[in-house]
Chain A
Amino acid sequence: MVKIGKHKTDIQIAICGSAGDGTIAAGDILKQAMAKAGYNVIAFDIYPPEIRGFGKCVARARITSEQVYSLKSESDALVSLNDSHAIAHVQEVGRYGAVIYEDTPISDIAEGAHISSHLAPAHLPYGVAFREISERVTGSARSRNIVAVGYLAGLYDMPVEAFHHVITQKFATKSQALADSVLDGFNAGYHIGANTFHLHFDRIGTSRGKGKQSDLVMMSGNAAVARGCMDAEIDAFFGYPITPATTIMETLAHEMPKRGARMLQTEDEISAIAATIGAGYAGARAATATSGPGLALMSEMMGLGVMAEVPIVAFISQRGGPSTGLPTKTEQSDLNLAVFGVAGDGQRIILAPTNVEGCYKCAGKAFEMAEKYQTPVVVLLDLYLSNRYEAVELPKKNPFAKNCSKPITQKTNQSSYKRFKLTNDGISPRAIPGDEACMHTVTGLEHDEQGRPSDHPVMHQTMSEKRHKKLLGAVNHRGITISKRFGDKRKVDVGILGWGSTFGEILEAMIEARKEGIRCSAMKVVMLSPLPLKPINAFFDDCGEVLVPELNYEAQFASLIVGATGRQVHRLNRVTGSPMRVREILAEIRRLADKAQMIAAQ
């Protein structure tokens, strides 16, 4: 029945409803099933800031056969489970895109309250009796969302078996009767969708896995972080709930005890990082997770971690700021706080993954680095990356090394062990409580090699140098992408330098620009501190103009780069609470390409 076309697949679906309509659950089934069927999927859900009630939920998923890097600014189909919320999202549906909606409301509605009167002329209306079908087939209106997913699957010729598989799995823990009823609802919707005249032109085409069931799993950035922690064999985690980092703690609370590892919800962010530092000091692989406001509270402790050279990992998922800011909106404005936010010269390692797979890699590698370089490692995410889902294929072999501490080579007697011994690479052999004859006290005070407080001017100069020098090796740490260049590898007119979640949109824009014949290249910088200056400078050498798009007002990354390289950049900054639009970046690339051409002509 289902004909999978030979053409490439690139369809973006948005499902919009209110909390309680099963919007996110519907989106979840969609993305899991399509990943199961071997498609690339990028998904990003928007939740209401309200705790309960009727807040707006939007689940978006972009389903593709080729590798893509971000969601599109236009969706190809919108499914409305609640018109009062979805009406505002009609405009995101592109030309000849479909708007799928409830055609059998349960009660009379006011003039203008139905979505059908809000469609643009270029939209295709698909009114469906979701409620009636759900009631008829499952005995209740509650499965409207499932009927809608079924309809969608039918309408777009999606592979039905993958949906059956995901639904069966999802409801496996519930009763068989419920699972059957949900399947019935899905099938009823599917049947109608498959038998509806297809006026839209988007079809599901080839998959990445050429149709075979794949090892791709749908994973959010936060879930990937948790998975990375587990694969790095985390011992202890301490956290305090804060949007959008909480799900890291929630996932670990579930997973860690299964392996005998320990998770504790502390009384605040200060105690969370204090306990993390305590555990790191005692030899555990320890981590915490928070958002900007929590990181602000943790700043003093971060300095202690630097001074006492304690390995810890802190996952920071940024949201709109300053202060409490926009707790449920994405932003990249905590870079300065993460890189510079300590008293004194307190450099530490900052990693900023750009996609879900990167979240996994950075999470695991952060533990290696923390141990190896004896420093706090901050992994900087943002709400968009934390909550967005991508189909990822995790490595079959655990990629993370276990014990990376510099070993105490010679057995020393108790008075000769120097915790902060000055070495060539600045890294000292590290003893932990329980190690015989290596007793020492670590402190936030400046100290000598033994760790004894010292305010001697030479000592402070020497120790400051040690703490900075030891980090330099991190830019060559194995098994992790510190920076990477994409696109044209020769001299180009425009280079786009990016970090964090925005790099997906940057890549999409660059690919578009290259299709237009613009000579351009993009570079992502994953390690924000210490900066991999060599490849960054090489990139500047190759680029006529360099553009730095980021989701903050103050151009924090651009300023960091300018400060470190002394080069000129063009800044593109947006703080709308949403991911950067590809077309905005593209417009800047075009403008800069023209400029570079003009300069070349002169």
Chain B
Amino acid sequence: MNVREPLYLEDKLEEIERSGKLSYRSQKLPTWCPGCGYFSIEEGVSKAMTRLALDQTNTVCVSGIGCASRFPFFMNTYGFHSLHGRALPVATGIKVANDDLTVIVVGGDGDAFAIGGAHIPHAARRNVDITYILFDNGIYGLTKGQTSPTSIVGFKTTTTPYCNIDQPLNPLMMLLSYGASWVAQAYAGEPHHLTRMIEAAIAHRGFSYLHVLSPCVTFDKTSNTYQNLNMKVRPLPDDHDASDFSAAMTEAQNNARPQIGVYFTSQRPTLGDGLNDVAKRAATIA
């Protein structure tokens, strides 16, 4: 029989403090349900920030409304908890005002693809230099369990008691076609991979989109559970070429068996670059 080592709280705290990631955490404890996949995302962001040694003073976390959008309150950075679906335009404004800020936008699947769907293409095509981390649990958690744009057909929720009849969206294909310059997928049940992905997303210059599959342990007992996702999620093929847009689209098609990793990455001028260019042109005319 395997006897576990006794765990001393002081030792654990010391270990966490040594890791440095606590300095990115606010004193407020997350309000998510025990077991929620969002804890590992938040942990991953803190770790990635530590590794990148981000300056908190010049970092802003922006969110909309939803379980995921509570995120900024838990971070020791500047934060803007804005309106349902509107995190991206708010973040765009922040970035237009100050290029030097690192802007991390978080949101859930409802916030992003239902009410906020109109803003994603424009943030992506403009290549606003922000990181967009999408917490996808396939359900509305904050309002206690309604169907979302990524819920699977047949899913029973409080608003679809007989089953969901709507086809779920494929966010990866959408973001690829919108022109996002960095697109990847991660899974809350694979925290190390998730942390690496977050680090790469923040490091990318331009609009980076990280889709994180994350179970809602309270309102989804049948669909995207840890058990189900553990069985389905697999890494992208080793030979996937992230500079190949067609390959990325091909791999993104398979939504039933999600693959994690970087689908696509490319470099092109950001919105800030473009605006600076406009200013230069204007200055030469004036």
Residues of A within 8 A of B (CB): 235-236, 238, 254, 257-258, 260, 262, 264, 266-268, 270-272, 274-284, 286, 300-301, 304, 308, 414-415, 433-437, 439-445, 452-453
Contact = CB atoms under 8 A, between A and B. Distances in A.
B211 interface: no
Nearest to B74: A441
B27 interface: yes
A278 B81 contact: no
A433 B55 CA distance: 11
A370 to B, nearest CB: 14
B282 interface: yes
Interface in B64-102: 65, 72-73, 75-83, 86, 88-98, 100-101
B89 A286 contact: no
B282 A274 contact: no
B279 interface: yes
B93 A277 contact: yes
B94 A434 contact: no
27 contacts: A236-B93, A257-B279, A260-B283, A268-B118, A271-B88, A272-B89, A274-B90, A278-B89, A279-B94, A283-B98, A286-B97, A301-B86, A304-B82, A304-B83, A414-B76, A433-B59, A433-B60, A437-B57, A439-B57, A439-B78, A440-B78, A441-B26, A441-B78, A443-B82, A444-B82, A444-B83, A445-B81
Contacts of A437: 57
A346 B152 CA distance: 40
Contact of B282 (A258, A271, A304, A445): A258
A278 B93 contact: yes
Interface in B192-231: none
B90 A436 contact: no
Contacts of B97: 235-236, 262, 278-280, 282-284, 286
A271 B101 contact: no
B75 to A, nearest CB: 8
Interface of B: 26-28, 56-62, 65, 72-73, 75-83, 86, 88-98, 100-101, 118-119, 121-122, 271, 275, 278-279, 281-283, 285-286
Nearest to B100: A434
A236 B89 CA distance: 13
A414 B26 CA distance: 10
A258 B72 contact: no
Contact of A452 (B28, B65, B82, B94): B28
Contacts of B65: 444
A301 B90 CA distance: 10
Contacts of B62: 278
Contact of A308 (B80, B96, B278, B279): B80
Given A435-B57, A439-B77, 14 more contacts: A258-B282, A260-B283, A274-B86, A278-B82, A280-B97, A282-B97, A304-B83, A433-B58, A434-B58, A441-B80, A441-B81, A443-B82, A444-B82, A452-B28
Contacts of A276: 93
A441 B65 CA distance: 14
Nearest to B91: A278
A267 B121 CA distance: 9
A436 B78 CA distance: 10
Given A308-B80, A439-B78, A441-B80, A434 B286 contact: no
Nearest to A268: B118
> Which of A254, A441, A442, A452 has the most C-beta atoms of chain B within 10 angstroms of its own C-beta?
A441
Contacts of A270: 86, 89
B69 to A, nearest CB: 10
Contact of B81 (A235, A435, A439, A442): A442
A266 B101 contact: no
Given A257-B279, A274-B83, A441-B79, A264 B56 contact: no
Contacts of A433: 57-60, 78, 94, 98, 101
Nearest to A437: B57
Contacts of B101: 282, 433-434
Contacts of A415: 27
Nearest to A273: B89
Contacts of A443: 73, 80-82
Nearest to A264: B96
A278 B90 contact: yes
Contact of A275 (B26, B96, B283): B96
